[in-house]
Structure 1
Amino acid sequence: MIPMAMGGPGGGRPGDAKQDKEWLAEHPVSLHRVAGLFRPHLRTVIVVILLIVASSLIGLAQPFIVRELIDVAIPEQDVKLLLALAGGLVLIALINAVLGVIQTWRATLMGQKVMHGLRTGLFAHLQKQSLAFFTNSRSGEVQSRLTNDVGQMQSVITNSATSIASNLTTVVATACAMVAISWKLSLISLVVLPPAIILARQTARLRRKITGARQREMSTLTSIIEERLSISGVRLAKVMGTGTLDAEQFTESSSKLIDLEMRSALAGRWRMAAMSIIFAAVPAVLYIVAGLPVTGDGMSIGTLVAFTGLQAGIFRPVLG
C-alpha cells in the first residue's frame, strides 16, 4: 500500500503518487510500524503465542510415547503400560484439536479487528485528501487500494502471522526432540535444514516481487472497470467511439494478470520439488545408518521409528 493511503510524504498533493511509490521502494515499512497494528491487541497476541507453544510442546510427546510402545510395552506385553501409552496418544490428539480451534478463533478475531482498523483508518484518511488528489489519481486505483490491497493483507494478518510463529516454534522444538532421541541421526537430518531455509527465502523473495506486480495489474484492471463502465465513462465511449479500444485495453490487462497469476502459482516450485526429494531421501539414509554395525549399534527400532516421524514432521514448517 502506497504512503498516500498510510500517511507517507505525499500528503495528497498533485503529482505526488509517483514520488510516494519511489519513496516507499527506498524506505520499506518497518517492523515497528507493523507491530503497532497489533499493539491494541497485545493480550490476544500473548494468548495465541502461548497456545502455539503449548500445542507444539504437547505434540512432541507423541514420538517418545511411540518409542516406549515399540521398545517396551509391546515386546514385554505389558497391558497396563500399553493402554496408558495408547490413551496418551489419543489424549494428545484431543488436546491439540481443542487448542487448534481456540487458536484459530482468537487469531481470526484479532486479525479481523486489525483489518477493521486498517479499512476504517484508510477510508477516513482518503476522505481528508484534497480534490486535487482525486483529480490526479484514478478512482479505480484508489478503490483497489481499499479493497484488493487490504484484502491481500487480511490473509497475512489472520493466517501468515500465526503460521510463522507456529512453524518457528515447531522447528525449534522438533530439533531439540530429535537431538534428545539420537544426536547421531540428528547430524544427518539437520544438515539439510540450512539449504532448505535458503531456498525457501529465495522463493519468498520471488513470490513477493510477483505479488507486487500482480497487485499493480489488479489496480489497473479495477481502474479500467471503474472508469469505462461508469455512466459517464459509457457515455464518453459512445460519443467518442472508443468502445473497441477500451475492450482491447481490458483484454490486455486481463491477459497480463493471467500471466502473473501463473507465475505466482509456479514461483519456486522446482526449488521446493528438489527439497521435497531431498527430505524424502533422508529417511532412507537414516535406515542405512541404523542398520550399519558401526553407527547403529544399540539403536532400538522404537528410536528409529520415533526419529523418522520427527524428521518427516519438520519438513513442512521449515519450508513454511
Structure 2
Amino acid sequence: MRLFAHDRARLAVVGALIVASSLISLASPFLLRDLLDVSLPTRNTSLSALLALGMVVVAVATSVLNVLQSRQSTLVGQGVMHRLRTAVYEHLQKLSLAFYTRTRTGEVQSRIASDIGSMQATVTNTATTVVSSGTTVIGTFVAMLALNWQLTLVSLILVPLFVLISKQVGGRRRKFVALRQERMADMSAMVADSLSVSGILLTRTMGRGDQLTDRFTTASAELADLEVQSSMTGRWRQSTIGIIIAVLPAAIYLAAAFTFSGTTGPVSIGTLVAFTTLQGQLFRPMMSLLSTGVEMQSSMAMFRRVFEYLDLPIDIPDAADPQPRGETRGELRFDGVTFRYPEADRDTLADIDLTVPAGRHVAVVGATGSGKTTLGYLGARLYEPDRGSITLDGVPLERLSLADLASVVGIVSQETFLLHASIADNLRFAKPDATDDELVAAARAAQIHQLIDELPDGYDTVVGERGYRFSGGEKQRLAIARMVLRNPQVLILDEATSALDNSTEAAVTAALANLSAGRTTLTIAHRLSTVRDADEIVVMAHGRIVERGSHDELAAADGAYAALLAKESAVPVAA
C-alpha cells in the first residue's frame, strides 16, 4: 500500500476514468430496451436513429476512456514495480557482508528478477481491475434491480458459491506458487554457479558436465510439473462456474416464461433482452474480480519472498546523526574488540587491543584462521564487533556516516573483483571523475601501466567477467591501482600481494611503500617477506595478539613470529 501511495493523484484519475466508463456503458442496455419496446414497435424512425446514435456514442466514449485509463494504470503499475525493484536493491546494498556469505547469489538474483517480475501483472492490473470491475458490478446490480428485482434475485442466488470456490482455488494455488518460486531460485543458483567462468573451469577439470546437466534436467522437470499443477489447480471448479454462468440466461428466460404476477405485469421483450445484457455485464467483471482474488492469493507467495528481503534488519546501520568529518589524521584503534561469526563455536577475535598510529604502517601476521582478515574487515566496518569499540581519530566508527568512512578507509582484499567492463571503467569505479592522466598515474604506481599500454585497446580493454582475461597478479595490481586512485587516508591491505610472483611482488611492495608515506596502513599478510619494513608487526594466534614488535625484535625473541619465519624459510620456492 505504501508503494501505491506515491501515485495517489494518478490513481484518483484512473478511478475517475474507470467510474465514468463503467457508468456510461450502463446506458446501452436501457437504450436497447427502449429501441425494442418503444421505437421499433411504433415505427418511430427518428427515435430509433437517436437511440442507435446514443449506443454508438456510448461505445466510442467507453473505448476512449478505456484507452486513457489503461495508459494511466500502466504508468501507476510500472511506477510501483520500479519503486519495488529499487527498494529491494537499495536495501540489499545496506546489508552487511555476513548476509552475502550465507546467501546464494542466484537466490538474490531470482528474487529481484523472477519474483518481482512475476508480480508485475498482479501489481499492474489489480488496482484497476478492482476499481473497474467493482464499479461495473455495483452499477450493473443497481440497473438490474431497476429493471426487475425478481430476475435479479434469480441471477445472484449462486454468487456466494462462486466466491467460496474461488477462495479455495486461490489457497491451493498459493502453495504451488511458493514451491515453484523456490525451484526457480534453485535453478538460478545452479546456473549462476555452474555457468560462470569459475564454474565452467571447475566443471571441465572435474569432468562433471554430464552430472550437472542431469541435475539441471531433473530440476527443470520438477519445475515444469509444478507449473502444470499450479495452472490446473481448481480448473474444474472454475469451469463449473463458467458453465453455470453460461446457462443462467436460460434460467432467466424460463423465469420470464412463467411471468411474475403482480401489478407490473409480464416481463417485456425489451426488458428481458436488456436484463440478459446487463447480466452478462455483471458476471464478466464479477469473474474478473474472483480471478483477481485467486491471482492475489497466488502472488502472496512471491510478495512474501520479496518482502522477506525488505524486512531484513540492517545490522550495520548508517549513523542517524553522523559526526561531521573534520581533518582526518588516520589513527585506527581497536579497544577490547571481540567478534564471533554467527555459525562459529568460538570467538574469531578475543579482547583485541591494537592501535595503528596515524601515518604509520602496522602489519598483522599469523597462521590461517588466526583472525587477521576479520580484523581488517572490522576496521573497514564490514562487520560490527560483539564487544569493544573501534575508533578513527577517537571517533567510534558507528558515529561516522558510511560514505565518510568509505572515503577515508580503503581495503584491497585478497579476492580481487573486477567488473565486466573496460579497464578505465574499473578504475573509475573508485573515482568517477578521474582524468586519463590520473588513471595512468595510478596504474604506474601499481606497476601495471606498461602491460595496459601494450594492449591493442589500452585502457578501453574489456577485462571480461570477474577479470578472467588477466592473470591473478595482473588483477591484483588493477585492484591496487583502483585503490590508489581513491586515495584513502587509511589503507587496509588484506593479502594484497598474495597472487604476485616474487619480482612483481617486490615492485608493487616498493610502490605501496612510497604511497604509504603519510598514510595509515594496516597490512594483513601471510607471507612475512612483505612486512619486514613495517613500523610494528603484530602476531595473532587463535583470535588473540600473542606478540608485537619490529621484525628484528620479534625474530630475536624466538617466539611465535620466529616460528613463522622458520616455517616460511623451510617451504621450497616453486620454480
What is the TM-score of this pair, normalised by structure 2?
0.48
C-alpha spacing 1:207/1:166, structure 2 compared with 1 (3 Å): farther
Which one is further off, 196-205 or 229-238? 196-205
Which one is further off, 246-255 or 290-299? 290-299
5+ long unaligned stretches in structure 2: 289-575
Contact 2:106–2:190 (Cα < 8 Å) also in 1? yes
1:144 corresponds to: 110
Give the root-mean-square deviation of aligned CA atoms.
1.5
Contact 2:39–2:47 (Cα < 8 Å) also in 1? yes
Among residues 276, 281, 284, which one is paired with 1:308 in the alignment?
276
Q: Deviations over 1:100-129 (max 9, x none)?
A: 111110111111112111112211221222
Question: What letter is aligned with 1:90?
Answer: V
Contact 2:249–2:276 (Cα < 8 Å) also in 1? yes
Cα distance between partner residues in 2 of 1:313 and 1:211: 31
Cα distance between partner residues in 1 of 2:9 and 2:97: 41
Question: What letter is aligned with 1:305?
Answer: V
Cα distance between partner residues in 1 of 2:48 and 2:225: 56
1:293 Cα deviation after fit: 4.7
C-alpha spacing 1:118/1:188, structure 2 compared with 1 (3 Å): same
Among residues 10, 35, 46, which one is paired with 2:12 in the alignment?
46
SS in 2 for 1:76: coil
Contact 1:210–1:260 (Cα < 8 Å) also in 2? yes
Cα distance between partner residues in 2 of 1:244 and 1:263: 29
Question: What letter is aligned with 2:25?
Answer: G
1:212 Cα deviation after fit: 1.8
1:284 corresponds to: 250
1:255 corresponds to: 221
| Equivalences for residues 1-320 of structure 1 within 5 A | 35-295=1-261, 297-320=265-288
Aligned identity (percent) is 44
Contact 1:197–1:319 (Cα < 8 Å) also in 2? no
Contact 1:196–1:318 (Cα < 8 Å) also in 2? no
1:275 Cα deviation after fit: 1.0
Contact 2:260–2:266 (Cα < 8 Å) also in 1? no
Question: What letter is aligned with 2:268?
Answer: S
1:23 corresponds to: none
1:209 Cα deviation after fit: 2.1
Cα distance between partner residues in 2 of 1:110 and 1:132: 36
Q: Deviations over 1:135-159 (max 9, x none)?
A: 2111111001110111112211111
Question: What letter is aligned with 1:132?
Answer: A
Contact 1:171–1:314 (Cα < 8 Å) also in 2? yes
1:222 Cα deviation after fit: 0.9
Contact 2:259–2:267 (Cα < 8 Å) also in 1? no
SS in 2 for 1:274: helix
Cα distance between partner residues in 2 of 1:293 and 1:168: 31
Cα distance between partner residues in 1 of 2:202 and 2:47: 82
Which one is further off, 239-248 or 223-232? 239-248
Runs of 4+ in 1 over 3 A off after TM superposition: 293-297
Contact 1:193–1:318 (Cα < 8 Å) also in 2? no
Cα distance between partner residues in 1 of 2:66 and 2:258: 41
Question: What letter is aligned with 1:170?
Answer: T
Contact 1:64–1:306 (Cα < 8 Å) also in 2? yes
Question: What letter is aligned with 2:76?
Answer: M
1:28 corresponds to: none
Contact 2:144–2:278 (Cα < 8 Å) also in 1? yes
Contact 2:176–2:229 (Cα < 8 Å) also in 1? yes
1:264 Cα deviation after fit: 2.2
Q: Specify which structure has the higher proportion of strand.
A: 2
Cα distance between partner residues in 2 of 1:248 and 1:86: 65
Cα distance between partner residues in 2 of 1:314 and 1:272: 17
Cα distance between partner residues in 2 of 1:203 and 1:55: 31
Cα distance between partner residues in 2 of 1:235 and 1:129: 30
SS in 1 for 2:95: coil
1:16 corresponds to: none
1:166 Cα deviation after fit: 1.5
Q: Deviations over 1:195-242 (max 9, x none)?
A: 112112222222222222211111111111111100111111223332
Contact 1:170–1:314 (Cα < 8 Å) also in 2? yes
Q: Deviations over 1:2-44 (max 9, x none)?
A: xxxxxxxxxxxxxxxxxxxxxxxxxxxxxxxxx1101111001
1:64 Cα deviation after fit: 0.7
Cα distance between partner residues in 2 of 1:88 and 1:261: 47
1:188 Cα deviation after fit: 0.4
Question: What letter is aligned with 2:123?
Answer: I
C-alpha spacing 1:293/1:315, structure 2 compared with 1 (3 Å): closer
Cα distance between partner residues in 2 of 1:173 and 1:196: 20
Question: What letter is aligned with 1:156?
Answer: T
Cα distance between partner residues in 2 of 1:265 and 1:307: 34
Which one is further off, 63-72 or 154-163? 154-163
1:298 Cα deviation after fit: 2.5
Cα distance between partner residues in 2 of 1:284 and 1:228: 60
Cα distance between partner residues in 1 of 2:206 and 2:30: 76
Question: What letter is aligned with 1:304?
Answer: L
Cα distance between partner residues in 1 of 2:187 and 2:259: 66
Q: Quick check: which has more Rg, 1 or 2?
A: 2
Aligned residue pairs total 286
